[in-house]
Amino acid sequence: MLRSILVPTMGFSGDPAAMETAALIARHFDGHLECVHVRPDPQQILIQAAGYDMGLGMGTQMVIGDLIDVLQKEDAKRAEQSRKVFDAFCAREKLPVAPTPPGAQKGVTAGWQELTGREIDILIDVARVHDVAVVGHATPSGGLARETSGTMLVKSGRPLLLSPSRAPKELGRRIAIAWKNTPEAARAVGAAMPFIDKAERITVVSVAEREEETITSAEALAKSLRWHGVDVDISYMAHPAGSIHDTIMRAAEDAKADLLVMGGYGHGRLSEYIFGGFTRHVLAGVRLPVFLVH
């Protein structure tokens, strides 16, 4: 069950879609949305202001105190905007605000936290105690950075669900699984079982690397999932000359999937920043919700 759902709010245009996507999850499982906005502490603002100050020319150099004031006002505005979006969302969806768990909960609830500190450290800590974190789509105006999302994915130990720029109407009715015979993909399928058990149809999307092994592994997964009482088919593709990301996304869309499940792949000691090509493309932006597990 995915009942405890974290939604980092940034004060940017991607927040409403992330909340709406998270609410779709919550409705499946009578869940709770915990919306969290992180504000930098004064020391971080001072460091940020000093960096801006050093980068300015002598003729246009701004007094650090003035720049700190600008940054604090900008941060306060984002925090206020985040809270307004949360309040409007709860009013529109008729969600009760529940600061503490009500016990044997029935129906969807929501909560709000405003925390102060280093954003990535706080989000990792908070994500570790939730079943899944729903991250909004970053836009040119702002949003959670790809590097921050990637670090959360690797270090929180929890699934990450990436929301597209527009929330879907349904979530989890038809699921595509980007399957590769790896521990990351296996963990992703395991973590997504609450969705899979409720799905009407599953499509296993498999791109050939070693052809015979890929087919055998995909068929074995499909057979195993059929024991859960869902219809499963396989979309098997030869390795494309172009982008694997686009190929898998097209296969998911052809299957009319409303959710893509995949493992998050990283390489090397700095895997929290350096991801395989498919994961990097996905973190940069998605056309349908993607459930990621590292």
User: Quick check: helix, strand or coil at residue 51?
Assistant: helix
Round to whole Å and give the CA distance between 35 and 12: 14
Question: Do the Cβ atoms of 248 and 178 come closer than 8 Å?
Answer: yes
pLDDT given for residue 140 in this prediction: 53
Residues whose CB is less than 8 angstroms from the CB of residue 238 and which lie 6 or more positions away in sequence, other chains included: 207, 208
**What DSSP character marks residue 269?**
T
Round to whole Å and give the CA distance between 90 and 80: 15
Per-residue pLDDT of the chain (294 residues; tens, 9 = 90+): 899 999 999 887 788 999 999 999 999 999 999 999 998 876 665 665 555 555 555 444 456 667 677 777 888 888 999 999 999 999 999 999 987 776 666 789 999 999 999 889 999 999 999 999 999 876 555 556 667 788 888 899 999 999 888 889 999 999 999 998 889 899 999 999 999 999 999 999 988 766 666 678 999 999 999 999 999 999 988 766 667 777 888 889 999 999 999 987 654 433 333 344 555 555 555 688 999 998
- Domain residue ranges in the chain: 4-41+73-162, 174-293
pLDDT given for residue 268 in this prediction: 40
Place of tokens 């092994």: 213
Q: What is the 3-state secondary structure (H, E, C) of 56-73?
A: CCCCCCCCHHHHHHHHHH
Per the DSSP assignment, residues forming a β-bridge with 202 are 175, 232
Round to whole Å and give the CA distance between 62 and 75: 19
Place of tokens 């246009």: 60
Question: Do the Cβ atoms of 288 and 251 come closer than 8 Å?
Answer: no
Q: What dotted CATH number matches 4-41+73-162? A: 3.40.50.620
Type of residue numbered 76: A
The domain 174-293 is placed in CATH, from the list 3.10.129.10, 3.30.980.10, 3.90.1150.10, 3.40.50.620, at: 3.40.50.620
